[in-house]
Amino acid sequence: MQELGKVHQLIISIFGHNMVFNLEAIAMTWIVFAILILFGFFASRKKSRLPGPLQAMGELFVSQLFALTEDALDKDLAKTYGPMITALFMFLLLSNWIGMIPYLEEPTKDLNTPLSLGLMGFVIAHYAGIKSKGFKTYAKAYFEPIFFMMPLNLIGELAKIVSISFRLFGNIMGGSIIILVVSYLTYSVILPPFLNAFFGLFVGGIQAFVFTMLTVVYISVQVK
Amino acid sequence: MSNDFQTWVNVAAYIGGGAAMGLGAIGAAIGEGYTAAYANSAISRSPNLSGEIFKSMLVGQAVAESASIFALVIAMVLLFTEFSSQSFLMIFVPLSAGLSIGFGAIGSGVGSGFPAGAACMGISRQPAMSAKLTTNMLIGSAVCQTPAIFALVTSFILLFTDFSSSPVSPTWAAILGAGLASGLGAIGSGLGGGLVAGASCDGIARQPKSATTVTNVMLLGQAVTQTTAIYGLLISFILMFKTFAPTDSIAAAMALLGAGLSIGIGAIGPGIGEGFTAQSAVSSIAKNQKATAEITRVMLVGQAVSESTGIYALVISLVLIFVI
């Protein structure tokens, strides 16, 4: 119980600034990367018309997420952004599920992970917006309906980063705290597996999907 | 009568625990009652499906109940933990943690009842869709619980953070403000998310072919509905983790309490309003699937406009914290 909220940090001082690294989050992120790269390697190693289980799973991910992207964006844009969206979803899904394995923790439990992914989505969305509409039309949108609404429009746009990343972070963090506290209160009898299934598999899966879909929608709002 | 410091810490913990469970029981009870009412009405329409409907009702009620179970967990922690009386601040921590989850559980409890009720009605209308309806209901009501989970996170962080080195004078108000920001801020989003999920269950029962699209738009609508609750969580985090300079002035402390109240109360309206928007969008998409792209865009724009009052509240909170 006392371990709650303890984070292993590596602090390096450069030019008087302290650079703080959360070691657990970094290690877990690399584990997720490694699993995904291995999965991608084995899924596409022996490509056949009659797919094996891994290839079928990979194809399912790609086709479903491409269909989702095509619904929101056009066919051409889906080709550009589809791979990113697919990778984002697979990373988030595995990140949210990895906490169910003992001794491993969700990298998304650390606010830095969702925040950086949210920032990435934000930059991509605005890049896509400027590219497709031109800078003038893009910038004009901030001065609508009246010019002095600009600061509020800007805050509203920046708040999107906060909302998308805190949503994921809050859900995963809340789930893991609940699992820890209830396991502690009940001496780990009976309840923890069900809690893991609900907060880990179910909520984790939904939130990975919500994050991915919001990223797609942010892009599509900027493009259109 | 003993009047020492430890007594007052215990007083705060007991009041906080009582408030957590008392307030936290409101929403789930209303939501479960709503579900049961619609389950009865569904059974009267098609009595031969009563087993199926009964099962769906129980599952839905179990999810709706989880909001008040969060409150129960916090109440238990508050009642059975020995809080140290190192600092004067420990009087405010349990109180604020209790209020946060107490208020935060109201909206999600009521909201989770809507999809469960709609799913029961839907099963009586389209028995063949019962599996899909139950899945959609579970997804919808699980997302509905998100604001309550945010309030829970705030409560736990308040309870497990060591405030003993912080200056008493503005920090007591920051602690209370943090609890109120997350707690009150969760009410509207919980309710609004429930409206959306209810409409989606209804829509799937009417137009089974539109199931996938409706579920996707529901998730989108609910996610946007939760935005103001997330602003509440953001303000709570700032209030909990920012170090404030010690001050003797009561006005500086009240500014922090005001920041919590501003976003907390200001988030209620946008949460419900955006819920109405997405509710109607989801049921329109179920009726006319061809217009999905158009309806989704109008829904997002409408929600953004409805959210602007929440952004005003956020701006005022930030000004109260950082400028004043």
Contact: A175, B149; criterion CB under 8 Å: yes
Q: Is B158 on the interface with A (CB under 8 A)?
A: no
Q: What is the amino acid identity at position B273? A: G
- Most confident residue range from A101-110, A187-196, B148-157, B159-168: B148-157
Contact: A167, B146; criterion CB under 8 Å: yes
The owner of tokens 């209020």 is B99
Q: Is pLDDT above 70 for B277?
A: yes
Interface of B with A in 190-229 (CB under 8 A): 216, 219-220, 223, 226-227
Q: Is pLDDT above 90 for B233?
A: yes
pLDDT, position B116: 95
φ, ψ for residue B288, nearest 5 deg: -135, 85
pLDDT, position A159: 87
ipTM score for this prediction? 0.82
pLDDT, position A4: 57
CA distance B227 to A193: 30
Contact: B227, A163; criterion CB under 8 Å: yes
Q: Which of B27-31, B87-91, B192-196 has the lowest mean pLDDT?
A: B87-91
Other C-beta atoms closer than 10 Å to the C-beta of B131 total: 10
3-state secondary structure of A190: coil
Q: What is the amino acid identity at position B26? A: I
Which tens digits make up the pLDDT trace of A16-66? Answer: 778 888 888 899 999 999 999 999 999 888 888 888 888 999 999 999 899
Q: Are B187 and B268 in contact (CB under 8 A)?
A: yes
CA distance B67 to B144: 10
Which tens digits make up the pLDDT trace of B70-125? Answer: 999 999 989 988 877 777 888 899 999 999 999 999 999 999 999 999 999 999 99
b/e burial code for range A188-214 (CB count within 10 A of at least 16 → b): eeeeeeebbebbbeebbbbbbbbbbbb
Would you state the structure tokens that stand for residue B225, as one six-digit string?
A: 């509905």
Which tens digits make up the pLDDT trace of B132-179? Answer: 899 999 999 999 999 999 999 999 999 888 888 888 888 999 999 999
* Mean pLDDT value across residues A205-222: 90
Band of residue A222 on the pLDDT scale cut at 50, 70, 90: confident
φ, ψ for residue B172, nearest 5 deg: -60, -40
Band of residue A2 on the pLDDT scale cut at 50, 70, 90: low
Q: Is B234 on the interface with A (CB under 8 A)?
A: yes
CA distance A1 to B42: 45
pLDDT, position A72: 81
3-state secondary structure of A19: strand
A162 chain-B contacts, CB cut-off 8 A: 230-231, 234
Q: Are B107 and B187 in contact (CB under 8 A)?
A: yes
Q: What percent of chain B has pLDDT over 90?
A: 67
pLDDT, position B254: 92
The shortest C-alpha distance from B265 to chain A (Å) reads 18
Interface of B with A in 12-51 (CB under 8 A): none
CA distance A191 to A204: 18
Q: Is A223 on the interface with B (CB under 8 A)?
A: no
Reported as type and span, the H/E element at residue A183 is helix A150-185
Q: Which of A171, A191, A211, A212 to mutate to test the interface with B (most CBs of B within 10 A)?
A: A171
Q: How many CB pairs under 8 A join A and B?
A: 91
| A187 compared with A126, residue with greater pLDDT | A126
Which tens digits make up the pLDDT trace of A74-100? Answer: 888 888 899 999 999 999 999 999 988
* Mean pLDDT value across residues B14-40: 94
Nearest-5° Cα angle at A199, B101 to A7? 75
* Mean pLDDT value across residues A171-199: 85
CA distance A45 to A28: 26
pLDDT, position B162: 81
pLDDT, position A120: 94
Q: Is pLDDT above 70 for B1?
A: no
Q: What is the DSSP letter of A148?
A: G
Helix axes B250-266, B268-287, angle to 10 degrees: 10
A174 chain-B contacts, CB cut-off 8 A: 149-150, 152-153, 156
B142 chain-A contacts, CB cut-off 8 A: 198, 202-203, 206
Q: CA-nearest residue of chain B to A70?
A: B293
The 3-class secondary structure across chain B, one letter per residue, is: CCCCHHHHHHHHHHHHHHHHHHHHHHHHHHHHHHHHHHHHHHHHHCHHHHHHHHHHHHHHHHHHHHHHHHHHHHHHHHHHCCCCCCCHHHHHHHHHHHHHHHHHHHHHHHHHHHHHHHHHHHHHHCHHHHHHHHHHHHHHHHHHCHHHHHHHHHHHHHHHCCCCCCCHHHHHHHHHHHHHHHHHHHHHHHHHHHHHHHHHHHHHHHCHHHHHHHHHHHHHHHHHHCHHHHHHHHHHHHHHHCCCCCCCCHHHHHHHHHHHHHHHHHCHHHHHHHHHHHHHHHHHHHHCHHHHHHHHHHHHHHHHHHHHHHHHHHHHHHHHHHCC
Q: Is pLDDT above 60 for A3?
A: no
pLDDT, position B43: 94
Indicate the burial class of B265 (C-beta count within 10 angstroms; 0-12, 13-18, 19 or more): middle
Averaged confidence pLDDT in chain A: 87
Averaged confidence pLDDT in chain B: 91
* Mean pLDDT value across residues A164-191: 86
The sign of the torsion formed by the CA atoms of A168, A169, A170, A174 equals: positive
Domain ranges of chain A: 9-223
